[in-house]
Structure 1
């Protein structure tokens, strides 16, 4: 029997070690950039969404291709590794292994995690509705990432283009996903944030926060 990826990884696996195994390339800490970690987590999440209903819709593939396009425009090193990364994630089915997925996702801060989940919901609702299994998968991911359920509900409703009430939680999601809050060197994240943030309604700062 062929050993699984889990069998060949140490218990204290780091993003660098996991990415090296997935791409089959000897990556250094400098190679394991935030962009590469985020893209790996995104491809893993997107792959999980596509596999949940057993059907890979053309609309879902569009979002994966868009991510690849953003990589090509903003990070050539990340884009160069992307084909190997996608192949490794598919071969080892990282999207079905919470421990390995969290090795990547836990390296992200809260805004980056919200951005990741937002990509997942955009893909899941690409055909105008959310499949129940896809939604349960995304909610389970959000729970593991300790994302506020109110924030999850906003991303879910927004992906379906539902009208959102002006609440403190909506303001918080708006704030976290504002592209200007990402560092200038995080051009890949800023571009992705722009696509999700632009679909959120702009609201004034709630009194409780503004006080």
Structure 2
């Protein structure tokens, strides 16, 4: 299945996105993690085609999408709001990994009527926990806007009571995949996130680590496909 790349103008600037699959199929909107871009979902898109259409935007500051002076999780959520409106998406599946998973939670609680199913990959809603702060200067080889990393880090490591309260607004079926002991992400926070959702389940993929959609691809796609088909 051919993957096409497009550019779209949104209020924050130009955004690039990738699209795989036929427009008449159910849409999966996939959000990538920090430092990646929409191509991180190419293998997933091919595995789901032709049954599903997968659309994967580059978040602001990533890939060829606009770089801005200010970055915040809610600004990224608002970019997704504008993207959904521009593409006239409705009743779609929302899939997110890491940073993209957090943005997915924020979108789904703001617009629950739009989301058919929610899947996050090794991603809790942010809570206060200790992790070494990123360096002020970008390490060699970084391809995204390092300002996104440094500005978003405090938000990703702090508890926002309103966000936690509004998880209850996400009434669609939700699947939270987690990578278990091999992941550096706090696994208990993923369980706690699921407990705040009205219709959620957690599945651990042993040995998956954080980027389990890459490290344990077959297991990931298996769980994803069964959930999308409502078989589990």
Same fold (TM over 0.5): no
Q: Determine which structure has the larger helix proportion and give its number.
A: 1
Shorter chain as normaliser: what TM range?
0.3 to 0.5
Q: Determine which structure has the larger strand proportion and give its number.
A: 2
Q: TM-score, normalised by structure 1?
A: 0.34
Which of structures 1 and 2 has the larger relative contact order (alpha carbons within 8 angstroms, sep 6+)? 1
Q: TM-score, normalised by structure 2?
A: 0.31
